[in-house]
Chain A
Amino acid sequence: MKVYIRSAVCISPQNTFGNESFLSEVVEYQGTRLRVIEPDYKAFVDPKSLRRMSHIIKMGVAAAVVCLKNGDVEIPGAIITGTAYGCLEDTVTFLTRVIEQDEEMLPPTAFIQSTHNTVGAQIALILKCHAYNNTFVHKGISFESALLDAMMLLKENESDNILVGGTDEMTDTSFTILSRLGLYKRFPCSNLNLYATKTRGTMGGEGAAFFLLSDKTSEKNLAELTAIRTIYKPASLEDIQKKVILFLAENDLKMDDIDVVITGKSGDTAHDSIYEQLNLSLFNNVNLANYKHLCGEYPTSSAFALWLGANIIKKETIPGAVIERNTKKVTPRKILVYNHYQKIYHSLMLLSAI
């Protein structure tokens, strides 16, 4: 059985939503934070419901609704989301009120919408969809866990047309705290210059990307999602190499069969050393692409990478803005997405042309 990506929709700091140009014009940001380009949500979500929705819910619901529409599916067979931080805006609102108002006279709305499953729940509610509904909240592999769930559901023949997405929002509060924790660069930077500064820290980002997965063939299908693997705290660079080779071998592939590797390079020298070393060894003869200068770093950014990879295969072109090395002159038919979050959570996603 094969798993296909029927449609893929991404709301990000770039013009990725409802735009046919496929990253031909890249938006530049100065600073250390990339914010999503907000669509006109009213066109996709009932304005009455929209008023109550926080940023992450709006992004998630809009991406999900359009993803279904593009895939010609009204009601999905399952709704699965991944989010590391969940509904931060509502969480911080409620927590701040608890403290400032000494636990008195608190309105319930922010609490109600603070639970991590709110995006998945709101999608189900809008669609009146009673199907399987799950939410994964595991740091840098929240989206990958959701994707694995979706692929297993298809293999188990439990359902078809599975809607799966990764969402995280950056709020002023989380940006302040994560900056204090040292995640971001200590000086303003241009995202277009992210990899050249050779300093510690990255730029913070956010986004929502949803995918419709099916085991049925269709002209609409963008790519085959061949396999996925997560690796927790690998022992060494050799360990990573061994696991990548094993992952490919399990899918009857060698590194030479891969046309493009999309890596999760973030501009943080401490984290990028892994990619730099792999690019000179295991990934030596393959085309390389990066994406975090477009969407920023966040725990579910691999969903952006999957959107990028699926579109590269469908459109048979690699946007200039993502290319790091393009020596192998081939139509991209096999893509490996390799990302690690804080060196702790590593993930591999394999995409194939149909």
Chain B
Amino acid sequence: MSSSVYVAGVGVISAIGNNVAEHLLAFEQEEAGMGDITLLDTIYRKKLPVAEVKLDNKQLAAITGLPDDMSRTALLSLVAAREALTDAAIPHFDTLRTGFVSANTVGGMDRSEHFFIDFVDNNSKGKLKNVYNHECGSMTEIVADRLGITDFITTISTACSSSANAIFYAARLIKNDVLDIVIAGGADALTKFTLNGFNTLMILDPAFCKPFDENRAGLNLGEGAGYLVLVSERVAKKMKKKLYGKLSGYNNSNDAYHQTASSPDGTGSYLAMKGALEKSGLKPADIDYINLHGTGTPNNDGAEGAAIKRLFAPDYPPMSSTKSFTGHTLGASGGIEAVFSVLAIEHGLIYPNLRFKTPMNGLQLVPEKRFLKDQNISHVISNSFGFGGNCTSLIFSKI
């Protein structure tokens, strides 16, 4: 039960790149992925910026081999999951017990929206094909089938912490000797449903988001997918390829304060980070980089900042929100940012927190503004907090 879980492969797609290499380049060149809405048919075009993946469904279908009327969430998921699995290049893959644990928040909602336009007028109308894969689990199933994974598949949905919890659960499936390998992470595509939902909450910034800034005005929605290939110690020992690191700590705590808002003192965030540190046996001073949840909303960043202050003050590790590049990819964010955290260790990187100017009142937290190379990064904490008070922190460590 105490054995370690290692990261053997990574894959990611978001507004700043279609694979790992493109992401590293975008970070170095400080190129954010936000822009005008081009893919969704919505009244918010040219009004609200979003961070779209720069491929339409036809292009994603061509890359993945899936049909182009498939939910965009499944298309994005397959791109990143396949990259991760190819990257891991597990020897004798077929002989091992393999699982796929994926996360998302609204399943095939992008297709259901098409169905409902006709259905709302007349309940006997609407192409059933468009609603057939509405369920969150359908996204996972479609991708697992393409990857040839049958031993274990499941889906987690805990709002914006979904894919961090998928990674967490996957690691425990390995530790409990249920599986040898798990591809874990999550995916979410932009939908009218989520865009309008977040807009009714008045937490979308009409400009590019400014995480952790005193004058932050909300988040920008994004989309994408991010996956890790996690392997058991036994599999890790047999691998010739260098491993990225290990998942050394994790914790899931609930803020239990409000359905959507975080408590002002960030109770849930604090408990998640503190619990993950305890699990890993590390002290706050051991952490070399915090990949913030940092959505850019006044509420989240205030709560997360308060929790960081309580846990780390007075000596703060470098920190940044990569959502200043990718936007908030919701159910995908924990997976995408886990990939970034692992890459930070692998390449000695700290990513810039774009557009930061003024520290939040009373917190004086200054995220890293530049792209830093050649850093010695041994331990990274990655935060993912969501609606329903669901707070999860993961810690990745060098081996």
List A residues at the B interface (Cβ < 8 Å): 79, 84-86, 91, 94-96, 98-100, 102-104, 106-108, 111-118, 120-122, 124-125, 127-139, 141-142, 145, 148-149, 152, 155-156, 176-177, 180-181, 230, 232-233, 344
Query: B120 an interface residue at 8 Å Cβ cutoff?
Result: yes
Of B123, B151, B196, B386, the most chain A CB neighbours within 10 A belong to B196
Query: In the complex the two chains form, what is the Cα distance from A121 to B123 in whole Å?
Result: 32
Chain B: residues with Cβ within 8 Å of the partner, total of 66
Q: Which residue of B lies closest to A129 (CB)?
A: B256
List residues of chain A with CB within 8 A of the CB of B172: 149, 152, 156
Q: Which of B11-19, B157-165, B296-304 contacts A (4 or more CB under 8 A)?
A: B157-165
Residue in B141, B196, B388 whose CB lies within 8 Å of A139: B141
B window 243-259: CB within 8 A of A: 252-259
Q: Do B128 and A137 have beta carbons less than 8 Å apart?
A: no
Contact present for B193 and A98 (CB under 8 Å):
yes
- Kindly state whether residue B117 has any CB partner on chain A within 8 Å: yes
B390 and A156 within 8 A (CB) = no
Is the pair A142, B156 in contact by a Cβ cutoff of 8 Å?
no
A91 to B159, CA, bound (A): 14
B259 close to A155 (CB less than 8 A): no
How far is A104 from B253 in the complex, measured between Cα atoms in Å? 35
Whether A103 lies near B158 (C-beta < 8 A) is: no
Q: Give 18 CB contacts A-B under 8 Å.
A: A95-B113, A103-B42, A104-B43, A106-B196, A111-B193, A112-B387, A117-B157, A117-B386, A130-B254, A130-B268, A133-B389, A136-B155, A137-B156, A139-B135, A145-B154, A155-B176, A176-B123, A232-B144
Q: Does B201 contact A (CB under 8 A)?
A: yes
> Is B116 positioned at the interface, with any CB of A under 8 Å from its CB?
yes
Given A115-B157, A142-B137, A125 and B196 contact (CB-CB distance below 8 Å) = no
Inter-chain contacts of A100 with B (CB < 8 A):
120
Q: Does B50 contact A (CB under 8 A)?
A: no
Neighbouring A residues of B389 by C-beta, 8 Å: 121, 124-125, 133
Of B117, B158, B192, the contact of A133 (CB 8 Å cutoff): B158
Query: Is the beta-carbon distance between A181 and B128 smaller than 8 angstroms?
Result: yes
Complex CA–CA separation, A133 to B253 (angstroms): 7
- Are B135 and A112 within 8 A (Cβ)? no
Q: Among the listed A98, A117, A122, A145, which residue makes an inter-chain contact with B390, where contact means beta carbons less than 8 Å apart?
A: A117
In the complex, residue of chain A having the shortest beta-carbon distance to the beta carbon of B271: A130
B197 within 8 A of A: yes
Binary CB contact string for chain B from 12 to 48 against chain A (1 if under 8 A, 0 otherwise): 0000000000000000000000000000001110000
* Per-residue contact bits, chain B 172-187, to A (CB 8 Å; 1 contact, 0 not): 1101101000000000
> Is B138 an interface residue when CB atoms closer than 8 A count as contact?
yes
Q: Nearest chain-B residue to A151 (Cβ)? A: B176
Minimum CB–CB distance from B118 to chain A (whole Å) comes to: 10
B284 vs chain A, min Cβ distance (A): 20
**Residues of A contacting B117 in the complex (Cβ-Cβ under 8 angstroms):** 99
The 9 A-B pairs with the shortest beta carbon distances in the complex, nearest first, are A121-B388, A111-B197, A108-B200, A139-B137, A116-B157, A138-B137, A137-B136, A138-B155, A145-B154
Which of B44, B159, B197, B267 neighbours the largest number of chain A CB atoms within 10 Å of its CB? B197
> B311 an interface residue at 8 Å Cβ cutoff?
no
Nearest A residue (CB) for B104: A137
Give complex CA distance A83, B259 in Å: 18
Most buried by B among A91, A107, A133, A155: A133
Q: Closest CB of chain B to A320's CB: distance in Å?
A: 35
Indicate which residue in A114, A135, A344 contacts B197 across the interface (CB closer than 8 Å).
A114
| Known contacts A111-B200, A125-B257, A134 near B158 by CB under 8 Å | yes
Residues of A within 8 Å of B268, CB to CB, are 130
Q: Cα distance A133–B159 when bound, in Å?
A: 12
Residue B260 at the chain A interface, CB threshold 8 Å: yes
CA distance A122 to B197 in the complex (A): 19
